[in-house]
Amino acid sequence: MKTSNRVNEMSLAQLNLHEPTPPNRPRRATLNEEAREIAERFSAKSISQVLLVGGVRLADAAIVIAAGAAAYVMVFPGETRIGWQYLLAMAVGALLTSIFAQAADAYHIVSFRMLRGQIGRMLGAWVLVFAGFAVAGAFFDFGGAVPREWLGNWFALGASGLIVAHTILAILVKKWARDGRLGRKAVIVGGGETAAELIRALESTPGNDVNICGVFDDRSDDRSPPIVAGYPKLGNVAELVEFGRLAKVDLLIVTIPVSAQGRVAEILKTLWVLPVDIRLSAHTDKLRFRPRAYSYLGAIPMVELAEKPIQNWDFVAKRAFDIIVGSLALLLLSPLMIGAAIAIKLDTKGPVFFRQKRYGFNNEVIDVFKFRSLRHEMADPLAKTVVTKDDPRVTRVGRLIRKTSIDELPQLFNVIKGELSLVGPRPHAVNAHTAERLWNDVVDGYFARHKVKPGVTGWAQINGWRGEVDTPEKLRARVDHDLYYIENWSILFDIMILAKTPFALAKGENAY
């Protein structure tokens, strides 16, 4: 699929998406039975085709190398060291297998579904690898660097491994395709004939990876019929936010003309809180941008309005970073955590740990672990009362561990479980409020901070925005820093935030 640079002509800033939401706009909508049933049917997470293809490449390389190592054991039983020439041959074999398989179109989702064709392509690539070795041996005298018996065993084991692996892959891919997990789950925003034309164009595009869940439109007159090109209209745009979260939608395609900028802006003010790609269909629009302003679904031009943050290999890199660094942090900080647990137990009666309901990724509610810092009989798991300076509920040990953020260390277990990240917007309590108003009512677009996993530490915290939130301005500053982090994420940014966190904690500002 062809992609382009971020569009300049219609950015989120130009559409004024940060303007306050009109008071009469509903913030939460209830889905009808049909929409909820479809959302539950699509609720399983999508499998990224980029990650699937990359994973298959890595698996094939591992099979080739493992086959070479097994052949070495068969030819040289009892040997514990493999010579450099064998390692070099296996590395070259893995590289050539990937190149020849790519040339044979073996690394495409369509090929994965066809068992015979897939195995034929992989075996063809594997034969070419050894044909390449034979040609190289004919032109260069390697002096019998590796015995032919090892090459023969390597070929047989490698071929067997590739056949088994790709047979399993074909079975899995067919199952994932039936379940609607293979490809991006998409919703069409805007009904009528324009949406019908887009749907027909998508369905006729070869190799299309978009699975359409349904149509959402605010209009209820003849311009927006209940069925559009065979897909039901499931509700209005406000209801789409709830549907998108339940169905874990990946892509929203807006079919409203670019010329209706006001209506597009109003829709995006509602939808931009979702962790999805948002694109504006340009296939029937009379306005034309520069060619590089478009991205494409097949041959269908799209204008990118919002991009899902931290996806595909970026997601893998961040998750790997969390697991490795989080595990090391648990190991290194375990003496401190054990000491804190003992101090809590000796100080006051009650459990050592405390669980609280907080918002996680995509606005899902998770249980976050903390060391208990309040008196057990005054515990506030629903966060109805904000902890303030000199709060009598805080224990002696609790005051110390809150000041130093030691009470947050058990959240490393949430990181290992995959519910939190080491770095991200801090997970706020579900009932967090300021001046008797829930935080999502205080700041417009508040839930946009949940487009990524929340973190143990974050950009807002190292910039001094931690502790009590007693004014709307403090909350807006937090959210602004969170959104900046989401839009500018990188592994280096995470490392920088982690490196600065101890210095920010040492100041002890706003921590009660």
Looking at residue 141, its pLDDT comes to: 53
Task: Provide the 8-state DSSP code for 190.
Answer: S
Give the residue with greater pLDDT, 489 vs 184.
Answer: 489
- Lowest model confidence (mean pLDDT) among 119-123, 229-233, 265-269, 342-346: 265-269
Domain end, chosen from 279, 306, 333, is at: 306
pLDDT tier, 256 (very low <50, low <70, confident <90, very high otherwise): confident
Looking at residue 165, its pLDDT comes to: 95
Total-model pTM: 0.78
Residues 292 and 337 in one domain: no
Q: Are 372 and 398 in contact (CB under 8 A)?
A: yes
Residues 343 and 461 in one domain: yes
Task: Kindly state whether residue 24 falls inside one of the protein's structural domains.
Answer: no
Residues 42 and 53 in one domain: no
Listed residue (186, 189, 430, 218) closest to 308, CA to CA: 186
Q: How far is CA 43 from CA 19, 47, 210, 333, 500, in A?
A: 32, 12, 16, 37, 38
Task: Kindly state whether residue 4 falls inside one of the protein's structural domains.
Answer: no
Task: Provide the 8-state DSSP code for 374.
Answer: B
Looking at residue 285, its pLDDT comes to: 53
Listed residue (401, 409, 403) closest to 343, CA to CA: 401
Strongest mean pLDDT among 220-234, 261-275, 354-368: 354-368
Residues 116 and 140 in one domain: yes
Task: Kindly state whether residue 344 falls inside one of the protein's structural domains.
Answer: yes
Strands 277-281 and 251-254 turn out to be parallel
Q: How far is CA 294 from the centre of its chain?
A: 24
Residues 111 and 39 in one domain: no
The Cα 297–Cα 494 span in angstroms is 32
Residues 427 and 408 in one domain: yes
Q: Is the pLDDT of residue 66 over 60?
A: yes
Q: What average pLDDT score do residues 479-501 get?
A: 93
Alpha helices in 106-221 (DSSP H): 109-113, 115-139, 148-178, 192-203
Residues 326 and 464 in one domain: yes
Domain end, chosen from 178, 202, 237, is at: 178
Helix, strand or coil, per DSSP, at residue 234 = strand
Q: Are 461 and 498 in contact (CB under 8 A)?
A: no
- The first and second tokens of residue 435, run together, are 């001046």
- Specify the CATH number for the domain of residue 207: 3.40.50.720
Domain end, chosen from 289, 306, 323, is at: 306
Each residue of 297-327: pLDDT tens digit? 767 778 888 888 988 899 999 999 999 999 9
Residues 112 and 152 in one domain: yes
Number of domains in the chain: 3
The CA-to-CA distance between both ends of the chain, in Å, stands at 51
Give the residue with greater pLDDT, 149 vs 11.
Answer: 149
Strongest mean pLDDT among 18-22, 24-28, 54-58, 442-446: 54-58
Q: How far is CA 120 from the centre of its chain?
A: 34
Phi, psi of 204 (to 5 degrees): -95, 0
- Lowest model confidence (mean pLDDT) among 299-308, 325-334, 386-395: 386-395
Strongest mean pLDDT among 68-77, 350-359, 460-469: 68-77
Task: Kindly state whether residue 213 falls inside one of the protein's structural domains.
Answer: yes
Looking at residue 207, its pLDDT comes to: 65
Task: Kindly state whether residue 458 falls inside one of the protein's structural domains.
Answer: yes
**Domain span at 227:** 33-46+183-306
Neighbours of 383 (CB within 10 A): 16
Looking at residue 512, its pLDDT comes to: 52
The Cα 429–Cα 442 span in angstroms is 15
pLDDT tier, 284 (very low <50, low <70, confident <90, very high otherwise): low
Residues 212 and 269 in one domain: yes
Residues 430 and 480 in one domain: yes
Strongest mean pLDDT among 174-183, 284-293, 425-434: 174-183
Q: Give helix 49-75 / helix 313-347 axis angle, nearest 10°.
A: 90
Residues 94 and 119 in one domain: yes
Q: Are 395 and 347 in contact (CB under 8 A)?
A: yes
Neighbours of 358 (CB within 10 A): 24
Question: What mean pLDDT value characterizes the chain?
Answer: 82
